[in-house]
Every structure is written in C-alpha cells, then in structure tokens.
Structure 1
C-alpha cells in the first residue's frame, strides 16, 4: 500500500458536516461541566450519577458477541472525529471530568444487526446516532447498554447494516479525569508554590476506550481528526500538527479550540493528547520539526537541551537503517511529572517520565544520560517498527518491543559513538532475561492469539521476556544473517506493510527473501530456525567436550528438579549458531541442529583453551569439560586480557548459573572471581556483582554473610584504590563511560563491605552537604551510592535530611536518587514509615509507589517489613496497580526474591490462596514464578551452604 491514506470526496464532505455538528453538541455537554464546577469536590460516584439516558439492559446468554473480548469481524473503522474538553481545576489531588463527542465512520464488511464498540468508564450523555453515508436511511438503534466486563458499548439495531456500506456513529459522553495514569488523566506539579495540573493520556494497551468509544484493537487502524477545547493559558498537543487555534465561547465560558491535522492511518493505542502550561524548545532537522516540552522551569534551565540535541541524529540514523523516511512532519517529546511507564511511542507525540527525557548536567549522572539516549532511541525506533507497521494482535507484542529494545543500542551508539554502548545489551538484556527464562514457569515469546484476550492478560505481556528476550534473539538473528541482510529484509518488510498490520512470520518471510537474494546458505529457512526460539520458552545450554569434539544441547533450567509448565512443539531442541574462539583466534560459524553432534573444530589440546558464543551473540549458555574449564581459569589468573571483555563476563555469568543448575560445582563458579583483584573492566565486574547478589540474598541473614563480606572486600579493595589513583583522589571523572560505571562499583562495594577509608569518605561528603544544603559537591555519578551508604550508616537525622531534599528538589533524576537511597536505612521504624508514605500520592507519586516498595524490600532490614506491608494492604495495592500497571509483576518478584525457607514458602502459598478472590492481575505469572524460585532457593541452600562456607574460609585466608 502507498504512503498516506486516501479518503473519497463523499466521505470527506460528510466528515466536515459531522465535525461541525460535533462542535455544536459541546454546548450541551458544557451544562454537565457547569453543574459539576459549582461543587466543592468531585468523587468518582459523582461522575457515575450524571444524568444519562436509561438504556435497555442485557439478559442475553454468555455466548453472545458482547461476552467475548475480541471484536467481531463485521465492522471496520475508517476515520474518527474526536472533540474533547478536559475540565481542569488547579487544585491538588482532585478527580475532574472531561466531556466530549466522537463520530466514527466505519464500513460494514459483513451484514450484522449489532454494533460493538469499546467503551470503558464513559457515561453517555445522549442517545448514540447512526447515519448511512449513502443517504439511505440507516437502521434504528433500538437498545443500548454498557457491557462492563468486556468493556463494550453495545447497540442492537432493528435491521441489518449493509455489507460494503459506510456509516457514521456519533456518541456524546463524560469521563473521569483522575489520577489513574491510564486513559485521559491528571498529572500535577508545583510551580512557584502553586499547583499546576496537566491533562494527559496513556492509551497502551487498552485505555483509548476510556477516552472515547472506539474500536480499540491494534488491527483496527483508522485516521483521526482531533480537536481539543482548553483554557486560554494552556497549550494543546496531539499526534498531528496544530492547524487551527481560535477563541470560542461555550455556555458563557471563553476557551481556545485547537484543531490538529489528520493523523496517518494508525492504531488507537498510539493516540495522545496533552493540555498543559508547559514551555518548549525546538529545532528543524531536514523537514521534521523537533520539539521538547516540559515544565517551564525545566525548559528555562536547559534540561531539555540534551534530548533536543540527540533526537535529530537518532531519527536520521533510523531513516538510514530502515531505508524509509520518517513518516511524519513533527516529533514532539514531552516530559510528564506522572507517568506509569518509562515512555510511550505515541506517533508524533512521545510521552516520557521526566527522568527519561530531562538532563541537568550539574545534577544528572552519566547513567541518567545513557538512559535518556537509549529510551529516546527506543521510542523513535517505534515510529517505524510498531507505528508505521503494527502487529495485528498483542500476542506478538514481543516483536514490537523486542525489536525496539535491540535497536535502541544502535541508535544511541550513533548519537554517542564514544560510549561503546552496544555491548551493554549483554548485561542489561541477555543476562537479565536468562534469569527469568530459566524458570519452568517462563513463557514463549509468542503466545496463541486466543490465550491473550483480557486487558490484564495483555498487560502481563509487557515483561522481561517480551522486551529483553525479544531483543536478544533478534540480535542473534542479525548476527548470523549479517547486518546488511538483516536490514535489507527489514526495509522490505516496512515498505511492503506500511500503514498496515502483520504477524511476526511476515518479517521472517522478508528476511528469507533477503537471504535468498544474497546467496547466503542457512541450514534451514529463517522461519524454521527462529520459530524454535519464538514458540518454545527457555533456551539451551550447549555442552562442549574439547577432548572429543562432542556437542550436546538441553533445555536449561535453574532448578533441575522442575518441569516446564508447557509442552514444546520442538521438544526443547533449538537450531543453535555457535561461533567459538580457540586460544584467541575466532572460528567460523557452526550450526548445532540436533541434541548431539560432533565437530573436530571443537577439539583442543593442552594448553589450548576454547570459548564458544563469541561476544555472546547467541541466546544460550555454554558448558565445557573439566579440563577446558581449568585452562580457562588458568588464563584468567595469568593473562585475563587475552579473553575478550564480553566473554570474560560470559564465563562468570555462565559458571554461576551452571552451578545453580547443578551442571558444575559451585566452587568452580566461585573460582572465576579470584582473578578480579586484577580486573579493571566494568562488564566482568558488574556481572560478578549481579551474580554475587544472589549469594547475598541467600546468606545475608546467616553466619555465611561475614565470610562473603570479607572475600568481596579482599577482591574489591584493589579496584577502589585503582580509581582513587586514577581520579586524583576522587577529584576527577574517568573519561570512559564504562570506567565511570566501574568507579561507582568500586565505591559502592568497598563501602558496603566495610573498607574504612571508603566509609569515612562518603560520610564526609554527605556531612558537607548536610552542613551546607544549598551546595551539593558530590559528583552526580556517585550520588546514588553515596546517599545510600550515608543513610545506611546513619539514623533519623540523615534520613530526615534526605527526605527534605527529596521534597524540595525540582530535578526528577535527583529525586529518583534520593527516593532509592531513602530505602537504604537500617532503622525498622523509619522504613515502616517510608512504606506508609507509598499510600499517599502527595508524598510518593503514584507512578513511584511500587518501585519504592521494591527498593525497601532490597534492603535486608526492609524485606520482611515490605512483605508484611503488601500482605496487609493487598486489596488497595491491587485495586491501584493490579489491572494494568507494567511494574506490578516486578513488585511481587522484588518483595519475595530473598525467600529461601519452608516458612517463607508456606507464607507465599498462603498469600496466593488468601487473595484468590482479590486476584493478582498482571502479576499472576509473577506469583507462580516466585513460588518456583523459593523452592529452588531452599534446595540450593541445602546443597551448597556448607561448600560455600568452606570455600570462602580458604579464599579469605590465602
């Protein structure tokens, strides 16, 4: 299909008439507002009791279409005219309303006497009207009702709609503008001591239906004409460019009416509107207007400058990468004080948390800067992959989010080529998702369409598997195809399906065409290879015997006694691309196509060593025979630089996880850390600390903890003093990004393991700030670890100071550092008070509540307090976060990850059973995974505690 979307002259003329009529109906809707404006408060119930026509209830049997969660294939939307008026009052913690109307032109593709359109938490203020575009009389709507469970507005007709005919449905409604962070909602901030309120949106995945009645499925693409009515002192933004802003008076109220250009053909979940008093900065890159919007104070302080600087280069990179021009005329990006996700790829109006878009060079760290670059890159990648071409249904969400999670590193690398950021996918995504995908309760990337129906099931897919495993397997695919072939197939896919919908196999087909045209030989088609990685959960461990050259693969499970909860269509066998390094020289690609194989290239003789999975380009773990492990340990101790940095990190991560799964002994895994006293690179150190975190979780409540602390202190002290020297006694900043990150590791671990010089250093820095709170001289890169260490070593005085600084700062990245550090206190009553603060959105923003509880649970003192807290408050927590919060599963996993006793297992199972009637929403799978993880932890402690104790004793005595 060509670019753009053609509208016939007849349809366009009707659209104009419908739009004019819709503006007139706002007058009637304003009566609702004027009635509510006189009230002192507006409760949710007030919205429900607004005068609404009485419609016939349903008594139909459960097999009727309105009891099904998917729309029938009878009607297809073509375009919408939507007018919305958010009634904002500049007062704290309000629930306001918005009024509006929507006319949708839809085509009937199969005869039907039923109209189903999504509508959730909207109250109609007039009877819907139906008109036929042909001018012939349309069927009469004889009964209408809301089907709450499936979130439909149901309209039964007195006769059937005609196949091939187009109709216009007009609805008028009032909705709640609350603080729920979904649909059309309020966001608050303070400016010059005054409360300021924003009306903003978050539609993904199923909340457009909270804003106006619509066909709210990703395949139901249409074009949208958006008009916003708003106060004179505010600006209005939407997906398209503003084409008109005029003054109007409605029911005696003077307003601005802002109209936007018609959108491209797109899905409802990508719509966005914002009404605010924000300011912006702008520049034009080629033909694209780029604007950064934020609080006036943030814009005037230059906090949007970095985002503006890198957006153009990243857009240009993706235009080249996709070989497709950016499809819009503008790219607005806006930083919101309250936002549930990190960012959202609304086409032409991307919404962000403030921490994901705003950078203050005096306060923000290098990590904050990297996060901004990668998130902007992620969202801009979606402008093509996801927005221009959209998956038909949410069961293939992984391809949309996994792809953006992979190429975000490529876009950020283009903007910041000195960072060497592409390697971080190994730590941030591959190693991270391995931990989840090695559970028997994991799930495949692609689910069956019929298994993903309810909104909470859709929300549950926004997890580590979809994002990080999706990124990992696509990176593997790009590697074995080679990037030129990968981008050739990708460009063909995007150009062929632009403005339409696909299933993931469509991408395989276009990649296969690129493979054929290049003459590249693969053992199977792209689809045959990749379906094994997409349609079965988990990943393999490849075991190589370097004496015989034998290779085997098997499904890797952290708990070897567990059984996968799903039957694999491929018997848990994968087509594995293996590229190895033999004694420092790279080998050609080898394909392992069965459970067992033999290849002489995998043989070595002493003193040769072999490492498979070069640069961790494949999504699998590797085990070796004992002799090869011994050679690798020897080379690490004698000349570790011979092994590439990524593969040094790989050896450590593979060894620790192979030991947990009982493939190798635990002491072999611990041996991989002995060389670290000589290691200065970030990736091996961070991998080690990630894996030792499990040991801390298992041992920080028993006698092994002291031995573990002594050993880690022995290994990290040389790193601490290395950075002391390299930074001229902490007065300079390391030049490389990875060195900056490793400096943080050096200070964090030196302080937490009791290196006295480190503890004195951070106490002194923090005390200087307390003595003169107007001047904070602590290096932004080090603030997170300094704040945490100082609060952990202090008491109420330090905590109260940090809390005051948290409340007073107007820089979101600084507030985030302080909010996390406040959870580091070792005083139980302080942590209990902090937990209570999460129930009050005036103290802890609703977007931050679950992560604050997780921060507290990460603290050994805070973990039992957090567990008691969520059990006592589960009904409230679930009602606030259970249905659609992307972070909700993280809450359950975060609070229970330390569980390692039968008593805790029983508590967890009891918690599951006691709250079966309340439910777990998007955290349902997380409950199962937590129970599985706890059982595995119990067994691991039973089998390894004595062995680890003995090894640590010897290692600390040497």
Structure 2
C-alpha cells in the first residue's frame, strides 16, 4: 500500500474520574455483594479460560454465559461502532488476536451486491474449510458490521480428502464480542484435533462510502451518477465483507463468486472461470442479474482478497489489464506501458516467476490510500494511476511510475511471502519502497530515481525519527488502530533506507541472491524478519562478504528493534591523523515530559554502524562498502593518513542510515570547498544535500552552532542541481516558516532571495529542459513566488488571467502543466474572491483527477480568512470534495501561514462533525492525522496549550498525537533559542 493518509481510541466510556462517596453497608447487603463478586470472578475466569488458546482437553467449557442472550432475533448484527449514548464514544480495543486452535484451509465465497435500492446492500454466503489443531468446543472468527443469520449456520465434518460427510456438528449458541470483532460459535460436540470441518454462514452487509471493507464509490457522466463497489481490506477490513480468519498468518485459498447486474462487470484476484444465471446459495436481487465465478486462488492472506463491481472499460497487453471509468480509460496508457516491463524486470531481479496468471490495475474514484497491492488485482487512487501526456505535470508521471512499481513489487514481497504479523509491516512496505526506486531507475533511467532516494525517502523520515515519540520499525501492535498507525514513514521510508543500507554493505549481487533464496523458501507462507536475516546471512557468509562470526541479524536488530537514528560525531586530531568516532541517538529536542519519555526510555542505545568515507584527495563517492564496523560501541578511534588541509566526508552517497557531525575545522574545510564555484560539484549531489540537511538539523537540535549551518548555505549562489536544492529549500523554508510572523522576517526573505537569484535567472519561467530541470524549476519558482519575486508573481498572475479570458476555460488552458500549481497558487494568493471562485468552478467542472488534485491544493493558498473557512466547510458539506480528498484540503490550508490557525480551530470546533463525516467506524488514527497536518508549523504557545487540552478531552492521544505535540514544542523551543541567533547572522551576512 502506498501514499497513505493514515490517521487512537478514547478512554473506555465506562471509566470515570469522579470519586464515589463511601457508603455504609448492612451485613446482609455485604454478603449479597460478596456472593455476586465471587460469581463474577468465576464467570470472568471461565471467559478467560475459554478465550485462551483452546486446550486439547475435550472437556473444554464454553464461553461466558453473559453473552448468550445478547441477541434474540434470527439475525445477529455486529454494530458499526458500539455506543453508550448519542455521542457515540468509540470502543476500547483489547488484544484482538484469534485463538490458534484452528486454521482456515479454503474459502468459498458468494457476494451478491444490490444496487437497486436507495441504500446499497449485499448478501453473502461463505463456506470455510478449517483444520483443527487443538480440540475445543467453540469457533472464533472475525466479523464486523455484518448481520449473520443464525438459522443458516452449519458445521460439517470433512473426510481426509476434504470431502463432506453426513456427520454434522450442532451449534449450541453463537454471538458477537464487539470489542474483539469476533463471531463466536459454540458447539455441542467437540471439534477434534487433526480433523477438518466446513463452516457455512449466511449474512447481509451494507455497502457504504466509508472507503473500508466492501464500499461504494461513484462518478458522474452527463449529470448522471454512476455507482460501483470496491474493496479495501488492508489491514483488518476483510471481516467487513465476509466472516474470516482476518490475520495475515492464516493463509488459505479463495474461490470467489460475484453477482452483478448484466450492465456491469466484475473483477477479482484470479481470472474469470465462467458466468452463470443463478446461484443456489444466494438469490439474485433483481431479474437482470448474473454471477461471475472466478478460478480458485493461490494461498494468500485475507487482506489481499479483492473484488470490484463496476461498469469500467479497459486496455490490455496480454495478461496485464488496466481499468478505469470510460471517460478516463485513455489516461491509462502510461501505466499499461510500464506494468509488463516491471513484471519482467522483477522476475529477473528476484529469480522467481510471477505467481499468478494475470494482473489487473484499476483506478477507483474514491480510494483512501495511494494504491493497494491485492494479489492480481491492484487498486489505485485515480491520481496514482492515470496520466495524460501534455496535460498532467511531469511529477504526476513520476508518481504513477513509482506507485505502479511499488505495488507490483508487493506481488513478491508481501503477497507471495507475507509478514507473519503486522509487527513486521516494514518487510512489506520498506521493501516495496526500496524496490520502486530500483525499478523506476530501470524503466526510466534518465530520471535518476536512485539519486532521488535521499530527498524523497531518507530526509523525509529523518525528521520523524528524530522525535522521542518515534517508534521502532518492528513494533508490537495488537489492535486495528495500532496497526493503522504504523503505516507511516518509519515503516515505508526508514524501512527502505535500512534495506538500501543492507544492499550497500552486502553488495547488490549477494543481496539479490539472498532475497531470491528467501522468496523461494517461504513462497505462499508467512515469515519474520529473522527469516530474512538468516537467508541473507547464509549468502553473505558463503560469498565472503561477511565473516563467519558475523550475521545480518547481529547488524540489523539494532536498527529495527530500537527507536530513532544515530548521530556519528567525527573529531579529528590534525597532528597525529587519528579520528575519534562517537555515536549516540540523535534527538531533535530533549524533553522532560513524562508523557513523551514514557513512549521511549531507550535513550542510550547503540547501533552496529557501517563506516565509510572519502577525502578531498580521493573524491571517491561511489565506494559505499564499509571500511570499518562500529560494533555497537560508544566510540572507536581510527587512523587515516589525511593532510590537515583536506576535508573528510563520511557516508558517501548517504548509503547508510545516520547523521554525521564534524569538528569545527572539518566543517570549515567542507564549507570552503563548496564555496568554490569551480570545484563544489566534486562532492556528489547526494552528499551536498546531506551536508546541508545534517548541518541544519544539528543546528536545530542545538548540537552545531547555527552560524556553521548558515555559512554552508552561502554556496547555494552557484548550485544548479535538483537534489541539493530540494534539500536546501526544505530546510530554509523551515526557518522561513518560523520567522514569517516576526518583525525582522524581511532579513530572512532578503537572504533567501539572494540564494535563489542565480538559478532563478538560469531556469526562467518557461517550461523547458529535461525532467530534473523541470523539477528544479518547480522548486525554485515555488520559493521565488513565496518570497515575493516580482517577476515570478507577475508571470503567474498573467498566465492565470489569460486562462480566465478563455471562452471555454474547462477545455482550453494555456498554462504549461508543469507550472500549473505555481501559477494557480500564486494567483489565488494575490487575487480576490473572484479568482478563488474561478478555480473552484474549474474544480467542479473537470473530470480529470490530476487537475482536481492541483486545484484542491491551490484553493488553500488564499490569504482571505473567510475563503479559507468556507473552503474547510465545503470539505465536509460539498459532495464534490470526496472523502479521500478532505485531508488534502486541510493539508493545503494548514500549509498556508494564514490558514494554519484557522484549520486548527476548525478541527477543534468541528471534531464530532469530522468523526461523523468519515464514519463512526473509521479508525481514530485516520482522524488524528488531520491534527498532524494542522500543527506541523505551530509556533504559538497558546495554540499548543489548546492542542494539549483538546488532546485530553477528545483525542485520548495516540502516538501520532504525541508526535504532533512534540513537534509543536520543538518549534516553540526553536524560536526561543534561535530567533536572535539567526537574525544576528543575517544582519552580518546579507550580500
């Protein structure tokens, strides 16, 4: 899954802070209470006993009787969200792991959606073949938001060949435990270890627009609404579509039958086997209806099951098909052109054939994430799959290439071999993120995707991992919200960065052979990170890359089982050529907050660091193999014959996951070299970017004097390459955002402007050059227009007004696709409500997803508070803004210095509306991500106090909320500590 907007649960509604007064009790009352208490203890003990892993003792008791009469009707409902009152307080999840007494072997599922009524529903029939490993008298299976018909539940004994017998197990009782999302079926007879059984269930579900489970989506053609239904099951939402063992460990085969109106089509993981008029198990909801029966799947986890019912059109190339709504199918050409190349490349890279007979890619109008790697049927947000040459910006083409590569890589890493539990999610997402850069570099070599890794992945995650409230990359998770919360840049970008580090110290050839062996050994199974470490170690030792007394596990456990990243401090002795290397965890801001510190008490951890470096004399930035290993020691001393006038730079190509600080003299030598316009580019682009990012962040953390970091930025007057500029602008924008409300902001504005003046004049406003020049132009123009460059603003306003003058602006847009966002945002920022309304009308009228995305971003650029407030209001009220795009609206408004407090206050004042908007069953981690958007640049202590009070009252703080608070605290601390330092430096160094 890529490009998530992942967004904890409040205190249990039964908990109270009010102390009850002590009451005197009579002896009789006391005895009665004592009896009740003892009975309650017995009942609880029986319940705990039964829901532990079922023992082999055939006399095992059934579940606690307090649940037995919970439902009186023939249909058992699972509530969307258990409530106590009208405020709909969310449940408090407990450990939701299923017992290990049995496992599924095969599913046979029939789903019949009904689009004919006002409220869409579906009927389902599932038959699950299970194998019992421990004798017991109950079955626990996941089910959520489904109504199960208790009269049609049956359990039959299967023979050794998996065929049905006449022997039937009778059902004693069945009920739901909402807190665990369990359907429990109690049996009168014992389910015996070693035997197989067939469970059959009938149920009904709703198809709603919550972007989870089996949900509905829509689009408009000629003012007519067209409906479709699609699935999104990762991580724990297959249980919303059919009762199942909804954990990745429980792999099984799936036989899927989908009903549909004859005017629509269906898609699923496997190829279509046949279409029939009716199915005995589920009646057709209308006369004009058929059922598509799909081939049985390979073994896979429930979260990878997928199906779509729609009226889409497709393009195909052999066994690869791309699908979209009819008026967008022409935008699938690029995805179709690269998908077969990616499949072929990965078969060679992994040495394992693609395991399915076909691959479909489909663009869904409403989709919560960027894409989802369902086995054989990959679902995408439209903007992640559709690209129109000459209409969409080149950055959109890069996005499509990256996301398609990411999801196809998952077909091996994640689907063929699946992490045993979500604690190792990073094995999925880290590998797919790493591979997307390898793949794109292969299919589009001129884009230099591997060079972009540093700015797109490494720098992105360094900022999060520098917080005390970061988390381990391999972390225990127990409930759906905890699982959803780790779909973040730690799992994706840090995971990819660690894998990239492994590839560098193992060498690519050894790395590839180790991966191939791992995939072959665990095909159609689940695995843990230790299984991967073992496979890589065997190959590394046999190839001589690692000595026999070293292992990948020994090296990598410190990186995956500890929070944060190390700072390597290099102190040179310029007289005897000794260098002392010291490591400690890099923390952006130290905190004494108990709430923060209790999230992570491992402040003294050490890492197994690969040490590589180059010097001014060597200038070898290609050799990334370690010269030394810093084996989890606080410090080591090494000797190197280096002239005391030469600089030394550690971590060439930023191949490994750590920051570096140097002594003052080495920083001076590096800065002097960079300020030489004839020789600065002898240092690689990646390392120029990393020197900038390290220096700026070390200064933010009060480890390096800000004058050293700012001195480094002087060289930007002659920098022309994208990667260093991307990093520099990101870091300078942080200082800009901190000072923009200050009376001396003009000094920062003036300095920043002088740094970009030369490259602005080189690039100009005309859209030309190769892809990296176009990307550089976007970054430079964005900065220039923000800083008030008159030429940039005038060009943007002129281009926008020429568009407004077009007779048919929805068809004719004279603005170059790569300049659209700059032009739209700048013109709206400096325009009036008519300019805003013009963009809003274009948003309403366009059917192109990429254009809608640009306009949603630009509409948040206005400086008019009432327009920003109206925009936020429309994100909840206007159906034109899809739920998936609400986050983009809030992100756009809160990125605006005038909009950030407006967005924060809006969320505070409309929290219940937001919860209602996304659906009461939506994960709180999803909603909490909105808070991260609107507090990223918070610098007002009063707002921080509001955030903490709001946190206590409404949010009941998850990890993402702690990160938001810590980031705001860091911003405020930065201003208090560094405002005067920066201003003093600027006064001296303006030129």
Tell me the TM-score normalized by structure 1. Answer: 0.89
Please name the residue that 1:897 is paired with: 936
Is 1:266 matched with 2:300? Answer: yes
1:707 CA drift (Å) = 1.5
Please name the residue that 2:469 is paired with: 441
Is 1:768 matched with 2:768? Answer: no
Structure 1 residues 597-636: aligned runs within 5 Å: 597-601=636-640, 604-636=642-674
1:309 CA drift (Å) = 0.2
Please name the residue that 2:267 is paired with: 237
1:930 CA drift (Å) = 1.7
Any idea what the Cα deviations from partners look like across 1:774-812, whole Å, max 9, x if unmatched? 321111111111111111010101100001111111111
Please name the residue that 1:9 is paired with: none
- State the distance in 1 between where 2:227 and 2:74 align: 28
Is 1:508 matched with 2:533? Answer: yes
Any idea what the Cα deviations from partners look like across 1:184-236, whole Å, max 9, x if unmatched? 00001012221000110000000000001111010111000000110011000
Is 1:224 matched with 2:254? Answer: yes
* Structural RMSD (CA): 2.1
Is 1:540 matched with 2:580? Answer: no
- State the distance in 1 between where 2:568 and 2:479 align: 38
Alignment equivalent of 1:683, drawn from 723, 729, 742: 723
Over 3 Å counting, the alpha-carbon distance change for 1:910 and 1:886 in structure 2 is closer
Report if the CA contact (8 A) 1:850-1:887 is conserved.
no
Higher deviation after alignment, 258-267 or 571-580: 571-580
Please name the residue that 2:815 is paired with: 778
Report if the CA contact (8 A) 1:85-1:100 is conserved.
yes
Alignment equivalent of 2:769, drawn from 709, 714, 734: 734
Structure 2 residue ranges without an equivalent (≥5): 1-69, 80-92, 160-164
- State the distance in 2 between where 1:463 and 1:748 align: 26
Please name the residue that 2:23 is paired with: none
1:311 CA drift (Å) = 0.3
Secondary structure at the aligned position of 1:102 is classed as strand
Please name the residue that 1:98 is paired with: 122
Please name the residue that 2:847 is paired with: 810
Report if the CA contact (8 A) 2:94-2:478 is conserved.
no
Secondary structure at the aligned position of 1:521 is classed as coil
Please name the residue that 1:27 is paired with: none
Alignment equivalent of 1:83, drawn from 95, 101, 110: 110
Secondary structure at the aligned position of 1:73 is classed as coil
Higher deviation after alignment, 929-938 or 355-364: 929-938
Structure 1 residues 371-770: aligned runs within 5 Å: 371-448=399-476, 452-522=477-547, 524-547=550-573, 548-561=578-591, 565=598, 571-583=604-616, 584-586=618-620, 589-593=627-631, 594-601=633-640, 604-638=642-676, 639-724=679-764, 730=766, 732-735=767-770, 737-770=771-804
Over 3 Å counting, the alpha-carbon distance change for 1:53 and 1:803 in structure 2 is closer
Any idea what the Cα deviations from partners look like across 1:148-180, whole Å, max 9, x if unmatched? 111111111112101111111111111010000
Please name the residue that 2:145 is paired with: 121
Query: Which structure would you say has the larger RCO, counting Cα contacts within 8 Å and 6 or more residues apart?
Result: 2
Structure 1 residue ranges without an equivalent (≥5): 1-47, 58-65
1:604 CA drift (Å) = 3.5
Higher deviation after alignment, 580-589 or 632-641: 580-589
1:397 CA drift (Å) = 0.5
Is 1:207 matched with 2:219? Answer: no
Report if the CA contact (8 A) 1:88-1:199 is conserved.
no
Alignment equivalent of 1:149, drawn from 175, 179, 200: 179
Report if the CA contact (8 A) 1:102-1:172 is conserved.
yes
1:710 CA drift (Å) = 1.1
- State the distance in 2 between where 1:399 and 1:122 align: 32
Please name the residue that 2:134 is paired with: 110
Tell me the TM-score normalized by structure 2. Answer: 0.86
Secondary structure at the aligned position of 2:235 is classed as coil
Please name the residue that 2:7 is paired with: none
1:888 CA drift (Å) = 4.1
1:642 CA drift (Å) = 1.4
Query: How many equivalent residue pairs?
Result: 878
Please name the residue that 1:25 is paired with: none
- State the distance in 1 between where 2:360 and 2:682 align: 47
1:840 CA drift (Å) = 2.5
Please name the residue that 1:40 is paired with: none
1:764 CA drift (Å) = 0.7
Any idea what the Cα deviations from partners look like across 1:648-700, whole Å, max 9, x if unmatched? 00000000001011111112111111111111101111101111222122112
Alignment equivalent of 2:201, drawn from 171, 177, 180: 171
Report if the CA contact (8 A) 1:554-1:595 is conserved.
yes
Any idea what the Cα deviations from partners look like across 1:308-367, whole Å, max 9, x if unmatched? 000011111111111000001101000010000100000000000000001011211111
- State the distance in 2 between where 1:660 and 1:89 align: 59
Any idea what the Cα deviations from partners look like across 1:701-746, whole Å, max 9, x if unmatched? 112322211111111121111012xxxx61x5212x2211001122
1:900 CA drift (Å) = 2.4
1:824 CA drift (Å) = 0.2
